Every structure is written in C-alpha cells, then in structure tokens.
Structure 1
C-alpha cells in the first residue's frame, strides 16, 4: 500500500488523517469504490483530493455547489 503520510504533509500540511479518511483513501487507492458520509468539515474532500494526486488517471469531481467548487480550486492552487 502507498505511504500517504508524506503526500498528506507535502500537499495539505497535515500530519494525520481524520477518523474514517484512511479507510476511504486506501479503498480508492486499491481500486475499489468508496462512499464517505461524513458531516460538514470532516474531510470528505481530502478523500478524493489525495488519491487524485497519487493515481495516474484523471479524477472527475461532480459538485452541486459553485461556492464549494471555487473554494476547493482555490485551496488546491
């Protein structure tokens, strides 16, 4: 399994994942589908952003909220 801690620190500035994130991220990295049903602010976005950095293929994100999309693009810049 890929060591995600260095990527987590380098790109996001975090030392550790929040509860539930590691299981979701590892499932995605292993090629499985995953659903992250967490409350607002619990780190759902990181569950697709981190694998998007590590995986070689395109990541498509569908988001119904324009403000959320803008915030996420600004953060990733």
Structure 2
C-alpha cells in the first residue's frame, strides 16, 4: 500500500478515494500547481490535508478565500 492510501485509511478512516481526489493528491504531493473545482461534499479538504501529512517539511500554508 502506498503512503497516500495508507494515510487515507489510518488517519481519515476511508478505504478509497472519491472521484478525482487521487489525481489531485498526487499532483499536490508532486509539487505541481493545482486548481481543483469540486462540488460541495466532494472531498476538497482531503486534497490539501493529505499531501500536507505526506510532506516531511512540517509546514503547509493553505489560502482559503471563504467568506
């Protein structure tokens, strides 16, 4: 089992990614710029939380323009 799938299960308690999540997580973890547009409840938060856990630097900055 790869690290992303292992953390998905161990930390978040999910057995599988939702549609689109795996591609986004892999891209973010691979230091690519990503724009992900997903519906409410689509699992957007996991798409930045999981790569943050995968990063060994210990620092993650998230900019969220929510009102």
| Structure 2 gaps, min length 5 | none
Structure 1's consecutive aligned runs of 4 or more residues displaced over 6 angstroms after TM superposition are: none
**1:20 has 2:20 as partner:** yes
Count of residues paired in the alignment: 65
Q: What residue is the counterpart of 2:60 in the other structure?
A: 59
Greater relative contact order (Cα < 8 A, sep 6+): 2
CA deviation profile, 1:28-76 (whole Å, cap 9, x unmatched): 111111111000110000000000001023111222447xxxxxxxxxx
Kindly report the root-mean-square deviation, in angstroms, between the aligned alpha carbons of the 2 structures.
Answer: 1.5
| Structure 1 gaps, min length 5 | 67-77
Q: What residue is the counterpart of 2:40 in the other structure?
A: 40
Query: In structure 1, what is the Cα distance between the partners aligned to 2:33 and 2:56?
Result: 17
Task: Output the TM-score relative to the length of structure 1.
Answer: 0.75
